[in-house]
Amino acid sequence: MPGHPERPDRLRAIEKVLEADIFDELERKVAPEADPASFELAHPKGYLDRIHSLIPESGLAQIDADTSASPKSWQAVRRAVGGALAGVDDVFEGRADNVFCAVRPPGHHAEKTTAMGFCLVNTVAVAARYAQEKHGAERVAIIDFDVHHGNGTQDIFYEDETVLFASTHQMPLYPGTGALGETGVGNIFNAPLRSGDGGDAFKAAMRDRVLPAVDNFRPDFILISAGFDAHYRDPLAGLELTADDFDWATGKLMELAQKHAGNRLVSLLEGGYDLQGLAESAAAHVNRLMRG
C-alpha cells in the first residue's frame, strides 16, 4: 500500500547497510518458503484457512484498519517463516551460533486467531514451537524489544510454562497490552516504558526485569523479536533509543545464550519504520551477533 510504513524499502535499507566492509564475513542465505502446515504450530487450521482465503488475486484486501494483504502476501509469510525455521535448524545443527532473519512481514502481533498490526502469522511463535518439536528444546525464551508490545506472542504462550516471553515496549501505545500484571503462569515478564524514555530507562528495564527472568528460566534456546522502532527517529512511537542501545541489549542476550543455551540464538526482524534508524540499528545488532 503506497505510504504504508511496513514496506519493501525496509529490507532494502538493511541489505544496503550490510554491504559495508565490516560485514564481509557475514554468511548470507536466501530464506526458503515454509510449508504452510508449519503455521499450525502456533495457529489453528481454521484461522489459517480464513486468512489464506482473504489473499486477493489482485489489488489489496483490508484485514483490519492497518493490516492489508496483497497477492503475494502469503508467499511473503511463507518466506518469513521459512527463514526463521532455517535459522533454527542452523543453530541446532551446528552450522551457526546465531542467526538474524531479515524478513517481513513482522509477526508478533498475530494472536492465535487474530491477524493485526501488519501481522498475519506469528513467525517467532512458530519458530519456538518448531525448536521444541523438531529439536527437542525444553525451555525457549522469547525476548521482544520492539516498541509495540508483542501481544500475539503473549497470547499464544500465556499458559505455557515451557516458553518464557519477556518484553520491553512503550505504554500506553498500540496494541494496549503489556502491563506488569500480565504474568501468564509465571512465564510472562513485561517491562513497559513511557514515551520519552531513552537508553537509561531501557537498560534499567532489561537489567531489573528481563535479563534476570531469562537467567532464572535457564533457556536452552533464545529467540529475539528484534523490532527497531524504539529508535528515536521512528515515526510510530516515542522512545528515544539509539543503535548503541540495541547493540548493548544484543550483547546481554548473547551472554545468556552462551551461559544456558550453547550460544543458540535466532533473531527475527519485527518493526522499525524509519529507514535510517532501522539500518543503523540492524547493523549494530548484526555486528554484535557476528562478534560473538
Determine the average pLDDT of the residues in 277-289.
Answer: 98
Query: Which value, in Å, is the radius of gyration of the alpha carbons in the chain?
Result: 17
User: Residue 47 pLDDT > 90, yes or no?
Assistant: yes
Q: Which residues contact 64 (CB under 8 A, 6 or more apart)?
A: 115, 116
275-291 vs 9-17: helix crossing angle, rounded to 10: 50
At 53, the pLDDT band (50, 70, 90 cuts) reads very high
Residue 108 appears among annotated catalytic residues:
no
Q: Could you tell me the pTM of the whole model? A: 0.97
Closest Cα to residue 87, out of 235, 49, 95? 95
Query: With bands split at pLDDT 50, 70 and 90, how would you rate the model's confidence at 292?
Result: confident
Contacts of residue 250, Cβ cutoff 8 Å, sequence gap at least 6: 224, 267, 284, 285, 288, 289
Share of the chain above pLDDT 90, in %: 96
Q: What is the rounded CA–CA span in Å between residue 100 and residue 261?
A: 17
Q: Give the span between the Cα atoms of 190 and 193, in whole angstroms.
A: 10
Residue type, 2: P
Per-residue pLDDT averaged across 240-251, rounded? 98
Q: What DSSP letter does each residue of 228-248 carry, written as one string?
A: -TTBTT-TT---BB-HHHHHH
> Which pLDDT value is given to residue 2?
55
Catalytic pick among 43, 109, 169, 260? 109
Domains of the chain (ranges, CATH numbers)? 9-291 (3.40.800.20)
